[in-house]
Amino acid sequence: MSRYAAALDFGSSKVALAVGEKTAGGIRIASYHDTASAGIECGEIINDFKVEEIVRSLVAQAETELQEEIGEVTVGLSGRILHGKNHSCQINRTDPKAYITDKEVREITRTRYNASVPEGEAIFEAIPQKYSTEDRFGITHDELIGMVGASIEADFRLFSGKRSILDRRVTILEDCGLKLHKAILTPIASARAVLSRPEMENGVALVDIGKSSTGVAVIKDNIVRDVAIIPFGGESVTADIKNVTGITNYWAETIKILHGQCCEEYAVENKKLVLKNENDSDDGEVEISLLARVVEARMSEIFDAVRYVIEQSGYAQKLTSGVVITGGSSHLDNIIQLAVAILGQKVRLAAPQGAITADSVEDASDVYAATAVGLVLETLDPKLSHAVEFKKESPVQPAKPADNGLFEDEPEEEEQLSAREERERRREEERKAKELRKQQEAQRKQEEKARKAQEKAEKKKQPSFFDMFFSDSDKDNA
């Protein structure tokens, strides 16, 4: 078994692959590569071929760098629409005097992935909020372990989205010879990468501003209380600049990055940006104050939506650590001042430096890498996500009604063995196929090298034009 864990972030601006390992000093990101997205919009894959080509390229880079094969990956889940709902269940225990075990409690969580959702949707995360027994109410997972009782009552927060978001990822991975290990909501992954332990305990809201959407995760007492995805991000700001000023999308994105700021009151008045193309002719002019006004309007809308999410979670007054902002569109000038004014919370910007070891690859500490790094962290050392290991016959697949309404019937031992053998057989076939492709590629390169060497040798044997000319002249003179 590989010591590495790999994770793919299917973002709208980039696709990133991070690979990490557990070390004595913490989790080290040993490889990080990303490339511009193609075929992805708002976290949803719309062109499988383009995305598959990107995944193959990223995996090949990582495998070459690490000199180790990547067999399975954890993926991030996003999308325009994410539904959250509260869910409670009560489980009657067969032996009230037996100690409650960690395995027993985790099995309760596992079965929540089969809870009823609208057709075409799947449960992405089932996060326990609190537990109760006959004697104790509102206790945590750790407090519950070791107790006794005739029943366990559990309160969950379930998050569901379009099933196709997950299915398309699984298909692409399989086409690339990869297996899905876990699927984790991207706001949860980003939170894990950039938040400190005190922040997650005391109460904090993580705001990840991406290209096409903004993810929000509300965390208190190290438990994810709510998650939401707002369908606006940096791309919305760029589109507003383009529409208001009449310039091209390229210039709108460029001046947003270089000169965009979130507070018009700080903008220099009566100053213009003169846009010059490669021929040194004018492509237009944009007033600095107008640019700031447009950026402030859209960013205010985004933060208004963030405030609504926080208020709806019921934790607006319990976020002692305030709000932490990350993401590729988080470094606009004066963004903290605007966020403080709208959210009424203390605010800081963050990147994943503190969550990984100092000897991790440099790019992994960049703000753009937060989600991919967080996916690796939650794979190797889960703290916020309760995603279970993916199996086609179990979680995030169509729910199968159980006899008692709570648990699925466990397959017979022979069926379990047969399924395990089938998975091992397929894994071995995929490994052999990948090895064969590598050998064929190496042979092709060797044959190409030999062919070029032969052509070079033959070219040396052939007389040049000047050799033939002077040779013929010498004969004529003779």
* Mean pLDDT, range 208-224, rounded to an integer: 95
Question: pLDDT at residue 428 above 80?
Answer: no
Tell me the pTM. 0.79
Amino acid occupying residue 134: E
Question: pLDDT at residue 335 above 50?
Answer: yes
Judge residue 302's burial from the number of C-beta atoms within 10 Å of its C-beta, 0-12 exposed, 13-18 middle, 19 or more buried.
buried
Give me the pLDDT at residue 463, please.
57
Q: Which of 216, 213, 298 is nearest to 42 (CA)?
A: 213
Q: Which of 394, 379, 55 is nearest to 188 (CA)?
A: 379
pLDDT category of residue 279 using cuts at 50, 70 and 90: confident
447/254: higher pLDDT: 254
Question: pLDDT at residue 3 above 50?
Answer: yes
* Mean pLDDT, range 242-266, rounded to an integer: 94
- For residue 408, the SS3 value is coil
In contact, 202 and 160? CB cutoff 8 Å: no
- For residue 98, the SS3 value is coil
Question: pLDDT at residue 188 above 80?
Answer: yes
Give me the pLDDT at residue 331, please.
87
Q: Which two tokens stand for residue 461?
A: 């044997």
In contact, 232 and 302? CB cutoff 8 Å: yes
Give me the pLDDT at residue 406, please.
38
Give me the pLDDT at residue 465, please.
42
Give me the pLDDT at residue 283, please.
77
Contacts 24+ apart (CB under 8 A), 359-366: 359/28, 360/20, 360/28, 360/29, 360/30, 361/29, 361/30, 361/31, 361/32, 363/32, 363/33, 363/34, 364/18, 364/29, 364/32
Choose the CATH number for 198-349 among 3.40.50.11540, 3.90.1150.10, 2.60.40.420, 3.30.420.40: 3.30.420.40
What's the rounded Cα separation, in Å, for the pair 78 and 56? Answer: 21
Alpha carbon 212 to chain centroid distance? 14
Give me the pLDDT at residue 410, please.
42
Question: pLDDT at residue 153 above 50?
Answer: yes
pLDDT category of residue 409 using cuts at 50, 70 and 90: very low
Give me the pLDDT at residue 177, please.
93
Tens of pLDDT, residue by residue over 340-367, are 999 999 999 998 878 899 999 999 999 8
Q: How many CB atoms lie within 10 A of CB 102?
A: 12
| DSSP symbol at 261 | B
* β-bridge mates for residue 223, sequence order: 220
* Mean pLDDT, range 172-197, rounded to an integer: 95
The proportion of the chain whose per-residue pLDDT surpasses 90, expressed as a percent, equals 70
What's the rounded Cα separation, in Å, for the pair 437 and 174? Answer: 16
What's the rounded Cα separation, in Å, for the pair 473 and 464? Answer: 14
The proportion of the chain whose per-residue pLDDT surpasses 70, expressed as a percent, equals 83
Give me the pLDDT at residue 459, please.
58
Question: pLDDT at residue 145 above 70?
Answer: yes
Give me the pLDDT at residue 270, please.
82
